[in-house]
């Protein structure tokens, strides 16, 4: 299917690239339009010939009229048979030049036979017969112009004989009135020829536009197929990469834990003092490098598990305020070592949320670590937890660091992405922190937003949606009081157990 479509594209472009008067590249299509016009009007032409034959009996003999009618019908049948054979043949078996010559010859015979109508009743002197003859010419010209305008040579050979016969007959009458009618016949013929050329140009332009449209559609389909195939390969490679890294946790961490353990023992001199201080320094360097490598591996494995869809949330009821305070305690000494001020703006009245505590702690630690990393000495970091206007809860971490240029924000949100200004003015990083945070927030159906302006700092907002806020959960009944049971026979105190150990969302409560 596709090779055929590709061939159509090349063929259409080749035809559109051809130049030349008459557009020979579309001869087959134009001829086919003429053939179909002829086949669609079989009864019309035959009926018209019968009417002309009957009318001519008023000034000519029946023999002449019938003989002319038989010749017209015979010539028309031959032309129609040729048209049927043309349509029946496949495009690849048609030599368009040969078939054009055949059709021109058949139409020439038709034109000569129709011209014979001017010879029917030559001896008549009735002016009505000559007026009818003139009107007949106009009718025939109009019909042939409509049917044969897509093949001008066929139009010429089909109409010129009759026009010339009518003009000659009118001129032979030797009266100025008939001479005027002869002139009008020539003028009408020329006028119809101009109209036919206009129709021909319109049909040709239509074919060109259709060919161009088909070529563009085919090219779009081909490009879409190529793009889809490339996307499928990229997605497959990405999934394979993520699965590979997600299954390498044990193999990577086991030897690294041994390195960290032994280097920790040597650094702390647990088995006795090291006589050479350089060895102790080397052990400290090995432990620091190992810790950094373990952190990098953990981040890679986290993002790989998320991309592979293997990161399962262990959800429970937690307080975001508690998570923010714990992260602050963990990083407080580091902030003081850099002479940074961390301000807490926490709303302790906020209810609990249904989330993975480890994931939310990782979100807060990554964001706070980034703020510490990229904020210069003497700067300020503000950690806020508040109620979102939509009913959810938001963690906000705002710093006074160098900020991030607007055009670089999409880059730093990609795995291993780094901002140029931040990289020049602060410590390095793996470039995985923000992508992991964003993915963990999205696993909670939350919203991640980063706002930054160069030399004015950065603010990161993490919003947990309203359906995870547990303020709609009814309070538990004390054990000593009578248990209130619902219509189902269960008390409100054991509702979480009925939900498989999961606390219900606000949207699930009546």
Mean pLDDT per block of 10 residues along the chain (510 residues) reads: 48 46 68 87 84 86 89 91 91 88 91 86 74 84 84 88 87 86 88 88 84 85 90 83 68 80 86 83 85 77 73 90 92 90 94 93 91 90 94 94 86 72 55 85 93 90 93 54 41 37 40
Say how far apart CA 259 and CA 265 lie, in whole Å.
10
The pLDDT assigned to 429 comes to 59
Say how far apart CA 211 and CA 500 lie, in whole Å.
63
Closest CA to 131 of 59, 51, 47, 48: 59
Question: Token match 């054991």: residue?
Answer: 494
The pLDDT assigned to 425 comes to 53
- Report DSSP state, residue 387: E
How many other C-beta atoms are found inside a 10 Å radius of the C-beta of residue 501?
Answer: 9
The answer to whether 36 and 87 have CB atoms below 8 angstroms apart is yes
Q: Quickly count helices (H) and strands (E) in the chain.
A: 16, 7
Sign of the C-alpha dihedral, residues 490, 496, 501, 504?
positive
User: What's the length of the chain?
Assistant: 510
The pLDDT assigned to 436 comes to 87
Sign of the C-alpha dihedral, residues 330, 331, 334, 339?
negative
The pLDDT assigned to 2 comes to 43
Give the CA distances from residue 436 to residues 44, 307, 324, 364, 382, in Å, rounded to whole numbers and listed in that order. Answer: 77, 10, 18, 11, 21
3-state secondary structure of 53: helix
Report the side by side order of strands in the sheet with 341-346: 341-346, 380-387, 393-399, 457-464, 447-453
Domain 315-468 CATH (choose: 3.30.300.30, 3.30.565.10, 3.90.226.10, 3.10.580.10): 3.30.565.10
Phi/psi of residue 248, each to 5°?
Answer: -95, 10
Cβ-based neighbours of 404, under 8 Å, separated by 6 or more: 412, 419, 421, 422, 450, 452, 454, 458
Say how far apart CA 398 and CA 344 lie, in whole Å.
11
Cβ-based neighbours of 205, under 8 Å, separated by 6 or more: none
The answer to whether 398 and 368 have CB atoms below 8 angstroms apart is no
* CA-based max dimension of the chain: 143
**What single string gives the DSSP state of each residue in 155-170?**
HHHHHHHHHHHHHHHH
Distance of CA 149 to the CA centre of its chain: 40
Say how far apart CA 228 and CA 226 lie, in whole Å.
5
Sign of the C-alpha dihedral, residues 69, 71, 77, 83?
negative
The answer to whether 243 and 308 have CB atoms below 8 angstroms apart is yes
The answer to whether 455 and 401 have CB atoms below 8 angstroms apart is no
Say how far apart CA 39 and CA 88 lie, in whole Å.
12
The overall pTM is greater than 0.85: no
């Amino acid at each position: 299917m596709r090779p055929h479509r590709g061939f159509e594209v090349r063929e259409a472009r080749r035809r559109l690239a051809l130049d030349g008067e008459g557009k020979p590249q579309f001869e087959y299509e134009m001829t086919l339009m003429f053939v179909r016009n002829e086949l669609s009007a079989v009864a019309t032409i035959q009926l018209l010939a019968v009417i002309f034959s009957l009318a001519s009996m008023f000034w000519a003999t029946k023999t002449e009229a019938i003989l002319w009618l038989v010749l017209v019908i015979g010539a028309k049948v031959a032309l129609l048979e040729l048209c049927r054979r043309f349509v029946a043949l496949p495009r690849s078996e048609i030599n368009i030049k040969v078939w054009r010559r055949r059709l021109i010859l058949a139409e020439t015979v038709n034109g000569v036979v129709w011209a014979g109508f001017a010879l029917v009743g030559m001896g008549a002197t009735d002016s009505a017969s000559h007026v009818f003859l003139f009107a007949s010419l106009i009718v025939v010209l109009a019909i042939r112009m409509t049917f044969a305008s897509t093949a001008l040579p066929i139009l010429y050979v089909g109409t010129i004989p009759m026009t010339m016969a009518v003009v000659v007959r009118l001129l032979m009458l030797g009266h100025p009135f008939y001479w005027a009618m002869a002139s009008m016949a020539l003028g009408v013929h020329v006028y119809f020829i101009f109209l036919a050329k206009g129709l021909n140009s319109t049909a040709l332009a239509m074919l060109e536009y259709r060919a161009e449209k088909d070529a563009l559609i085919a090219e779009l389909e081909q490009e879409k197929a190529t793009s889809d195939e490339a996307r499928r390969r990229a997605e497959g490679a990405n999934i394979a990469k993520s699965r590979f890294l997600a299954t390498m946790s044990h193999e990577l961490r086991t030897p690294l834990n041994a390195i960290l353990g032994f280097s920790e023992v040597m650094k702390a001199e647990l088995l006795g003092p090291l006589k050479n201080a350089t060895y102790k320094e080397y052990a400290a360097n090995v432990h620091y490098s190992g810790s950094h490598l373990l952190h990098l591996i953990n981040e890679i494995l986290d993002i790989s598990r998320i991309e592979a869809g293997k990161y399962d949330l262990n959800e429970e009821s937690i307080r975001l305020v508690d998570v923010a305070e714990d992260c602050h305690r963990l990083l407080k000494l580091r902030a003081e070592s850099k002479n940074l001020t961390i301000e807490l703006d926490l709303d302790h009245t906020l209810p609990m949320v249904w989330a993975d505590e480890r994931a939310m702690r990782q979100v807060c630690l990554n964001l706070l670590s980034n703020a510490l990393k990229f904020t210069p000495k003497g700067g300020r970091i503000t950690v806020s937890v508040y109620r979102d206007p939509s009913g959810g809860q938001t963690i906000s971490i705002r710093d006074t660091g160098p900020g991030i240029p607007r055009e670089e924000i999409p880059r730093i949100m990609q795995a291993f992405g780094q901002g140029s200004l931040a990289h020049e003015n602060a410590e390095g990083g793996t470039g995985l922190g923000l992508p992991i945070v964003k993915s963990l927030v999205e696993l909670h159906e939350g919203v991640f937003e980063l706002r930054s302006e160069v030399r004015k700092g950065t603010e990161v907002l993490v919003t947990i949606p309203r359906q995870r806020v547990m303020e709609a959960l009814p309070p538990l009944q004390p054990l000593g009081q009578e248990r209130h049971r619902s219509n189902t026979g269960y008390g409100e105190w054991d509702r979480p157990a009925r939900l498989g150990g999961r606390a219900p969302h606000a949207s699930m409560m009546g």
